Structure 1
């Protein structure tokens, strides 16, 4: 959770100017698509370019040896970001890759229960249904509360009654600004000794995330979104409970295990058991630099500013006739979703893009339960970040108001 606002450090105009100076694209466009892919700051881009230049100059294996400290920085920086030890972190190519790798490590049997929620990421739900088809597991979705978000008492009752093989919750769903009470759920998962998997793809980089506070066994996230890192990079946190047991990915390779005799292997004692030997090291060092940059800005400051801009954006959108803000829940993040009368999805997004405003679309096919409950087929998603400005909120809402009248 975000701490008391009175304890947060102030954010000055010079701070915002410095962050924007590191983000040259803001001079020509308004980027409100950080929930899709944040704009990389110049130090992140420079770190990757330097690494690629070195590979070209001396060779790929040799560059990895020469940059061993920078590569190790990936684990140290991400550990500091989520309050873990470096040994508990693994590099994966995306949040979905990390999530699926974690799922593959759980020894499901026919009849096992996966307990999840109605607000989730499409790929997670498809993975659950695939496991149901292939292995005969049961997928149970806890109901929502009237105010929005999962009904925690109902979910806890299902934990006690069904004893699920794994409890899985997405911290911030991709299709709305809802913040799920993952720490509260984690208290009960830990009490009942249930495996707990948290998808933090949309929260890492915009909200404080502490794996000890969450009580999770696995946590997955990507680099490209609010961390402002490269595409093709993500990470997996695995708890000591996971690493001390017999949980290992379905397909483990020579990065994750030692071949100890002709017919035996031993998995790594660290989260590297979830990695594979071939890795895009330019992305590894770029992802490390993105976390280093975010931690220098301060995650509390990021949460404060992004949240303020999102609240301002929602308030302005509600003033525009024909728009309907869809975000619902006791806590909301910097993802703003809405619909607008008289427009189809792609033409509306294209009209904004023609004005130099980046956004994203969510459709019912990505949020079958949530959008059915809201009775919408699509929503436009706007996701400001700490380097955006109040003036950009004004510009975006002015353009939307004009389109609403068109």
Structure 2
């Protein structure tokens, strides 16, 4: 009987061990808005890394950032929260922090030393009341200038413009060569990032911060801001009639094919160049502004972790936060996404020349400028975006646009 008992005990132990080895993977439902070719290839890097770490990634892509954020918030409010949801590294999710609807990931942040390895502007966005409420996954610069090497050659442009006036002269050359000078998707957010690119370069960091950070109405009424609006509107002469309503990646496709000369877009556009097998420095060029001291707008994406008491869901959230910010996943993701890694301690040898330039610039704190969404709440951002879209698409005077901007700043 003794031997029989021993056998039964050993069988039970073996079954228990096998069960543990085949424990259900930690399921994670992840809402995001990355649906273009380059974006899908990038998010797959995180999914693969999470699955390898013992998770089961359940992908919930929702086309359009606004729609994806709304879906996430509706599910959180409706009691059916996803495990994680994408937001921009901004004030977009601070309302739901204040309502107590997110879990923090403080222990992951402490273990991985986030305080030391992430830039200050990013930490400011993801940390509230001393707690980390999001895992940042990339640094994007929304105001890169991408250009087609063949289009520049056709127009006789031999070097990148060093000033805004040189840039306008190059657009004239492209127009004369029969190329669409500026590929723009006429959507409100694209018009706004084009404006911000001009604002940072033409207006300079001091004026930019007075307007967005300090919400200084006198700065908006200044001649310097009037000049920014005037220079922005000049670009309208260089877009094609097909611009209104065009998606950003369709505008990138015009540059990829050489039908257009330049696109002002976030570095996520590089994902589309990569997907089309184009190489930075060979098929297309990139510059982050005019001259060696141009401001570098800092933006990005982060995943928040909705409130839950389910211990497995909490484990999944912590595993996601750990995996998404890990060095290997960061490099693999950035290579496909066009962003630069959130961490400063990675090996950038496999990244392209534009990413390497971005990484080098991020080491110079004097060039870092937070993007407007880090400085102003979403309702003010929305009001200012409406002002810029109105000014771009209508025959409105610069003075009227200044007044509208000043009033949007106070909304």
Give the structure-2-normalised TM-score: 0.28
Please identify the structure whose Cα radius of gyration is greater.
2
- Greater RCO structure (CA 8 Å; 6+ sep): 2
TM-score between both structures, scaled by the size of structure 1: 0.28
